[in-house]
Every structure is written in structure tokens, then in C-alpha cells.
Amino acid sequence: MRHYKELWTILALAFAFFFILSYFDGIAIGDSFELRSAGFVRALTDAPRKTAAADTTVLAAASDAPEAKATFAPAPTDTTAQTILFIGDSMLDGLSPRMVDYCLQNGHKLISFRWYSSSTSKWGSPSSSLLSDLIAKHKPSYVFICLGANELFINNVDTKCGPAVDNILADIGSTPYIWIGPPNWKPDTGINDLIARKTRPGTFFLSNGMSFERRKDGAHPTDPSAAMWLDSVMRWMPAHAAQPIRMDSPRKPLPAKAPGQISIRIRQPNE
């Protein structure tokens, strides 16, 4: 029994020695030998503080995460008849006929204005009053836009297109709108991200990533594919648009067109 007591005494003294040593960086013995701190006491006493700091960082990051922000909720669908202004570039060649079908089916008036080879920079140029003139003349209650396809590959997109997008949105003002993004056939240099940042939540439909049948130029969707493209926008609208309107799927035969219900204008690049 005495031997066991001596052994426990030795172990207790050794533990006490290393416990005390662990508080210091080390003890040098002569010039060639040094006892280094094991650091287990510091680890035991510091661990709670480090864990608390890490938890605080995680909570701070979580508060900035998109999931922690207020969830966007669309307004109820407006079922009244609308006056719709649909502006854009040559992508309206395929989209506009299908928009006519939707407007006939749902009793909306449509003014479709197609400007070939146009861009955000042209529609939103400080020297152009085209959009503000169209809005003043027709007084739309809803605006659809399809622009950006002619700016997919430009450099410095924020500098070159940002002010123009701002001007377009300023002309539209408080009128509800949907901006249909371009149907990328190659990765763009930032036009989709720019429009998504500039537009209000629930007003930008991202077309990039969709599958299209293309015309021979490799860029424009075929008419049937463009019709399905617009169908996708209309299916997206009730649950995702900030201010959805009634856009029931067209049925054949369509209702007869009322006088003045559909107006389509095409503007050439040199106009």
C-alpha cells in the first residue's frame, strides 16, 4: 500500500509541474535544453472564449444572408383590363405575336413598338424621348420590355449601360412593368446582372439558361420557341411578379379583335 501512495504522490507532483509549466512559454535549462509549454491549460481556459467568438461571427453572417431578409410577396393578381406597352428590339419578332394572343384572350389593349437593332443605350439615351413620348401618348397601365440582346458582349457594361437602364426605369416611373431578359446564346459580360440589380424585385424575368430553338442566325428564337418563351413569362408572373395581371393562356379560336385594341409599330435603325 505504501508503494501505491508513493506512486500516486509522484504522479501528482508530475501533473502539478506540467500544469504550472503550461502557463508559461517554456523553461530553458542551460544553453541546449528547453522545456516547452504543452499549452493544454490555455486550451482548456481559452476554448470557451474562442467558441463564443466563432458563434458570434456565424450569427452575424447569418443575419446578412438572403434567407434572413424579408421574403418578397407578390401582390394579388389584377384582373382588370390593361393598356399594355410592349417595347424592345428584334426579339419582339417572335414575342409580339404571342403577346397579341394573350391580350385578345384577356381583353387587354396592346401597343407593341419594335425598334430593330436597339439596346438599352438607345432607348435610354438622354437625347431620345421615344419612350417618354410613347408613355405620354398611350398612357399604359403596364409595360413589358425586352432589351439587352444587343449588349450581351460589350465591355464595361455598368458604365456603358447603367445610366441608360436608369433612364428607362425613370421614364416608366411608378407604372408596373416586367423586363424580359435577353435569350443568351453565349455567356454575357454582365448585362443580365446589371438589369437584375437596377430593376425592382419581382420585375425582371431571367431568360438566360432557358433552352431555345434558334433561327439560322443562331441568336433569335424561332417563332414557336419565342411563343413558349412568352408562355414561360406568363406562368412565372402570378407567383413571382411584383404586380401580376390576368394573363390566362390563349385558347383557340381567340376572341375577335376590337378596333384599336392592337397596335404594332416597327421602327428601323435609321429612323
Sign of the dihedral defined by the CA atoms of residues 240, 163, 122, 161, in that order: negative
Grid-cell match 411584383, residue found = 242
Residue 143 has φ and ψ, to the nearest 5°, of -125, 130
* Domains in the chain with CATH codes: 2-68 (no CATH), 83-267 (3.40.50.1110)
Which residues of the chain, if any, have pLDDT below 70? Answer: 1-71, 270-271
- The C-alpha cell at 190 is 454582365
Is the pTM for the entire model greater than 0.85? no
Helices (H) and strands (E) in the chain, counts: 8, 8
Pairing outcome for strands 109-115 and 142-146: unpaired
Residue 73, pLDDT score:
80
What was the pLDDT predicted at 1? Answer: 52
Given a contact cutoff of 8 angstroms between Cβ atoms, the answer to whether 123 and 92 are in contact is: no
What integer pLDDT is reported at residue 268 of this predicted model? 79
Q: Is the separation of the CB atoms in 218 and 180 below 8 Å?
A: no
pLDDT, position 22: 47
Residues whose CB falls within 8 Å of the CB of residue 79, separated by 6 or more in sequence, listed in order? 245, 246
Q: For 21-52, what is each residue's pLDDT tens digit?
A: 444 444 443 433 344 444 444 444 443 333 33
* Residues 162, 194 contacting (CB under 8 angstroms): yes
Residues 6 or more apart in contact with residue 11 via CB below 8 angstroms: none
Question: 3-class SS at 241?
Answer: coil
Q: 133, 29, 31, 154: which is closest to 85 by C-alpha?
A: 133
26-29/33-36 β-pairing: antiparallel
